[in-house]
Structure 1
């Protein structure tokens, strides 16, 4: 009786063990009956038919990351580089991931390598360094489109390293050094150009300022000369008016004649004093007559004044 009871308990335990299935939260299970797809078991507790149903596949439904081994790629400018990366996948359909492909993980890695070689071949070496984001997006798009029948989705792809050969690195260093020297020369040339422009602008402004100063100086001098001429003219006019007024007075005409004679005699004396030979005016007789007339008219004027 004890042995039979023990056997019964064991059989009942086995039946119960095969009757209940607990699926963890991070997994999705594919259930088969007689080798045919039955359904996908979501996370939780499930009851199945013992010995008829079995879990054929268990898939990780969390996002998974796979390392892409380094491989040699040829860029568009025929430069060989070693490229590696990582790909992030997630199982979206457990049924297609089980029956759509034998090993979606290996297939995804190989597809990522193939797509990476193809995309690297479309870019030059410099583009692969500067356009990593664009390259990653292109690889994700290509892999995601190809892996859709497998029931997985490529979340993202990241290139870890792009490693040219030592010879290429040496060439790139020389190129970058030449580029730096070129930029330095351009900067120096631009600085010299700006300096010359500023100096020429300074000379131009200086010439403008000097010309403006000369112009103002001439204007001031002209205005000063004009004022001087005006003052002299006014003084001369006033003096002539006074002379004319004096001439109109009694004895004024004789005073003018006397003044003219005195000036004439003074001028003749200066000429004779500076001459090396004796100089006598040709109109000496006229002078004598003029003096005689003055002597004759002078008393008459005085008498008439009295």
Structure 2
């Protein structure tokens, strides 16, 4: 830590630079020629009154009349701001410390504008830090530390300008909160982590449900398309079967019609009708059914004769009718 670096008289020079360079405990003796090191400014008094400021390099002064009153370092200096208490806007007591970086801009004002400039800057930094902390809540102390540092530097710069000192930057180093507040903050962090974990888990479940629904939807669409194709194929097969059956029926009708027109066609018709008639009665006799029949239904010869007469009556027109039926079928 560098201390006692601003505005010290030349006769205390060894205390000013004890941490950076070794100097003798005596002030530079004015023998008429003075060599000022780089990044230093020597304030000269003549007969107790400010005379001029010596720049780095070779300088000439009048012995006895002129003396080196102050030696100002123009380098950037870091000053530690000790621990202090501050209260946030939500009434939380904090312990803070920091580091202030500054340099002498005007050696004359730094020498004569303020007494004990380092002490004054330290007190001013503590005051401004307490003031700025009191404007914000505890959470913003951690979230907006950079903005808080900038505001402190701006306030210090305005206040230290009459002293010839430029405040470059300020850094809050440590922030200590009460133990109960630490525990509450830890619980809050854990709760926030659990919340994020729950959100991520729910989002994963939602995505999984969406994927399952999309898969089910796709499977149902494919199943319906397959069922539709099956129905179409079945209907096509049934239509083709009906068409084939109709064609076979038409061919059988044509064959029967041609057979009826032959010499022994009528006898064949009578025989066929008699066989079908007997088969029908056999089927009725197998079960206990109540059926209304004509009085002469048991006379097979009479029934066959009636059918034969009907066939002989329609036979001349039968071939023409079946041809008409066949032509109508094929037109469909």
* 1:96 corresponding residue in structure 2: 109
CA–CA distance in structure 2, aligned partners of residues 157 and 173 of structure 1: 28
In structure 2, runs of 5+ residues without a counterpart are: 1-28, 313-332
Among candidates 115, 129, 136, match of residue 123 of structure 1: 136
- 1:61-76 maps to which residues of 2 (within 5 A)? 61-76=74-89
CA–CA distance in structure 2, aligned partners of residues 292 and 70 of structure 1: 136
Shift of 1:190: 3.3
- 1:53-68 maps to which residues of 2 (within 5 A)? 53-68=66-81
Instruction: Judge conservation of contact 2:86–2:96 (CA < 8 Å) in 1.
Output: yes
Instruction: Establish whether residue 135 from structure 1 lines up as the match of residue 151 from structure 2.
Output: no
> What's the C-alpha RMSD, in Å, of the aligned pairs?
3.0
CA–CA distance in structure 2, aligned partners of residues 121 and 153 of structure 1: 25
- 1:1-306 maps to which residues of 2 (within 5 A)? 17-272=30-285, 274=287, 282-284=295-297, 287-289=300-302
Q: Alignment length, in residue pairs?
A: 281
Shift of 1:88: 0.6
Helix, strand or coil for the counterpart of 1:69?
A: strand
* 2:11 corresponding residue in structure 1: none
Instruction: Judge conservation of contact 2:30–2:66 (CA < 8 Å) in 1.
Output: no
Helix, strand or coil for the counterpart of 1:158?
A: strand
Kindly provide the CA deviation profile for residues 198-218 of structure 1, in whole angstroms up to 9, marking residues without a partner as x: 334444333333333333322
Cα distance change on mapping 1:289 and 1:147 into 2, 3 Å:
same
Shift of 1:101: 1.9
Shift of 1:41: 1.0
Helix, strand or coil for the counterpart of 1:196?
A: helix
Helix, strand or coil for the counterpart of 2:210?
A: helix
Kindly provide the CA deviation profile for residues 137-167 of structure 1, in whole angstroms up to 9, marking residues without a partner as x: 2211221222222222112111110000122
Helix, strand or coil for the counterpart of 2:155?
A: helix
* 1:9 corresponding residue in structure 2: none
CA–CA distance in structure 1, aligned partners of residues 271 and 64 of structure 2: 168
Which deviates the most, 67-76 or 100-109?
A: 100-109
CA–CA distance in structure 2, aligned partners of residues 209 and 19 of structure 1: 107
Which deviates the most, 201-210 or 52-61?
A: 201-210
State TM-score, norm by structure 1.
0.79
Helix, strand or coil for the counterpart of 1:122?
A: coil
In structure 1, runs of 5+ residues without a counterpart are: 1-15, 299-306
Kindly provide the CA deviation profile for residues 161-214 of structure 1, in whole angstroms up to 9, marking residues without a partner as x: 000012221222232233333333333333333343333444433333333333
Which deviates the most, 216-225 or 52-61?
A: 216-225
CA–CA distance in structure 1, aligned partners of residues 189 and 305 of structure 2: 116
